[in-house]
Amino acid sequence: MTTCDLKSHIVDSGFYSNGYATSEVRTIFCDIYRYQRWLDVEAALAVTQAELGIIPEWAAEIILEKAQLKYLDLNAIREGIKTSSHSLIPLLCALRTVCPRDAGQFIHFGATTQDIQDTAQSLEIKDVLDIVERDLVQIINRVSVLAGKYRDTVTIGRTHAQHALPMTLGLKFAVWLDELWRNYERLQPLRERLLVSQLFGGVGTMDAFSEQGINLLAKFSEKLGLKAPNTAWHASRDRAAEFLSVMAIISGTMARIANEIRCLSRNEIGEMEEPFKMGKIGSSTMPHKRNPEMCEQAIVLARLIKSNAALGFEAMINEHERDYRAVRLEWVTIADSSHFICGQLSIMKAIMEGLIIYDNTIRKNVDNAATFISTEALMFYLGTKIGKQTAHHVVYEICMEAIESKKPVLDLLLKHPEIEGKFEREELIETIDPGRHIGLSKELTDLTINAVSANMQKYSPVTISERICPLKNTGGACEVKR
C-alpha cells in the first residue's frame, strides 16, 4: 500500500465506512462528482449567457461539449491547486485548455468562484435531501406498521427510568411516528429556502452582467432546478445553518428511538432488541454478549451531527460582503453531516425492519408490576369511599412499605385501618388489572396512524436516479487519489 492509497477519514475507510455513511452519499461529495458538478454549473452559465447574447453561441456550445471531466487532466488540476492555492481556477484552466477557437475566453464570464461553488453546494444539498426524505418515509411507513400491529399490546409506561402507568406498545410507536412525521414536514419548507443558486459577482452587485443580471440569474437558476434568490448570500450563511440544524433535529429523533430500543434491550427488561443474526459478536472476551451496537452507532452519529450544527452557527459570522471562513467550514460540516445522517438513516431502517419484540417478556413484566403501575387507578377507586387525598396518602404508605418489606401490596392494604372492611380483595384485584387502565392508548394510536397516512398522500414520493460516474466511459476511478 502506497501513501496515496491511504484513506484517513472514517467515511472513506475501506473497513469501517458503512457505520458512518453510505456509498450513495459518499458519491455525492467525492472529488470526481464535485468537480463535474462545478463544470455543470459553468456549462449552464455559458448556455444561459449565450441565450441572452452575453457570449457567442458557438462558444457556449463548445463549453457545454467540453465541460466533461473525462476530457480534463486531473493531475494538472491537482498540481495547479498546489501552485495557485485556488480551489477553482485550475479546473477552469484545464477546461479552457480543451476548448478550441478561443471558446475558453468565455468560461466563467462575470462570475466569482463562490457563485459556482455555492450553486453546486445547493445541488449537493438537494441530492442529500432526496435521500433523507426517501429514507425517512421508509422508516415512517415501518413504524406505522408497528404501531398498528401492537395497538392492543399492554406494556409498562416508564418515567424517570421507573415504572409509571400502563399503556400500549402501539402508543409508544405512535409517539415515535408523530415525531418522525414532524421531521418529514420540516423538509418541505427547507427545500423552498435552501435550494437556491448564487450568481452575483464579486460583491453581489452583478456589475459584470450589466442590465442582464436579474434575467440571467432567473434563467440560470431554472436550468439547474434551483430558485433565484433576491440578493447574494456569499456572507449570509443562514441557509447552511438551517440545513445543519434540521439534520441535527432529524438525527436526534432517530437517536431517541435508538436509545429507547437500547434501554428496553437490557437483560433485566428484555422487551425488544435490535436485529440479531448468528455470527454477530458482542465481545472478544464475553461470548454471551448481544450488544446493541447498531443503536449505539445511531446515537454516536446524532452527536456528531449536533456538533456540526453548532459550527453552522459559527459560520454565520462573516465580514463585509464575503470571506471564506464560512465556506471552508461548510465544506466539512455539510459533507460530514450529510454522510452521518444518511448513514444513520440506513442503520435505523435496518433496525426498524428487523426489530425484535419479545411479547412474552412484555406480558411477564406487566404482570409482575401490575399492582404498582395501577396505583393511580387504585387511588381513585379507593377515593370513592375515603377521599382522593386520603387514598393517595394510604397507597403511598402501603407501596413504600411493600417495597421495603417485599410483602404484597394488597395484603398490606386490606389490613390498613382506612381500608379494612370497606373493600373486598376481588374488587381490588379487578381494579389493578393493567389492561383496564391504558386510557386512550388505542384511540391515540389510531388517530396518529390515520393522520400520518392522510398527510402522506399529499406529498409525491422522491425518486432518485442512479448516479453515473463522470469518468465511467474512460475507465477512470470515482475518486482522485490524494
Report the distance separating Cα 393 and Cα 98, nearest Å.
Answer: 87
Helix, strand or coil for residue 202? coil
Q: Are 180 and 449 in contact (CB under 8 A)?
A: no
Please name the helix (run of DSSP H) or strand (run of DSSP E) that holds residue 275, with its range, or none: none
108 is catalytic: no
283 is catalytic: yes
Rounded to 5°, angle at Cα 176 from 170 and 179: 140
Q: How buried is 3 (Cβ within 10 angstroms: 0-12 exposed, 13-18 middle, 19+ buried)?
A: exposed
What is the rounded radius of gyration, in angstroms, for the C-alpha atoms of the chain? 30
Extract the C-alpha cell encoding 157: 409506561
List Cβ neighbours of 6 (8 Å cut-off, separation of 6 or more): none
- The packing angle between helices 113-149 and 441-456, to 10°, is 140
Q: Are 25 and 343 in contact (CB under 8 A)?
A: yes
Among residues 23, 84, 210, 283, the one annotated as catalytic is 283
272-292 CB burial, b ≥16 within 10 A, e <16: bbbeeeeeeeeeeeeeeeeeb
Q: What are φ and ψ of residue 43, in 5° steps?
A: -65, -40
Q: Are 101 and 36 in contact (CB under 8 A)?
A: no
Report the distance separating Cα 37 and Cα 30, nearest Å.
Answer: 11
Among residues 8, 85, 160, 465, the one annotated as catalytic is 160
Extract the C-alpha cell encoding 76: 494538472
Q: How buried is 152 (Cβ within 10 angstroms: 0-12 exposed, 13-18 middle, 19+ buried)?
A: middle
Report the distance separating Cα 107 and Cα 50, nearest Å.
Answer: 11
Q: Count Cα neighbours of 313 within 13 Å in the Cβ-side half-sphere.
A: 7
- Other C-beta atoms closer than 10 Å to the C-beta of 413 total 24
With cell 409525491, the residue in question is 460
With cell 405512535, the residue in question is 174
Report the distance separating Cα 73 and Cα 78, nearest Å.
Answer: 9
Report the distance separating Cα 125 and Cα 440, nearest Å.
Answer: 41
Task: Please give the positions annotated as active site.
Answer: 160, 283
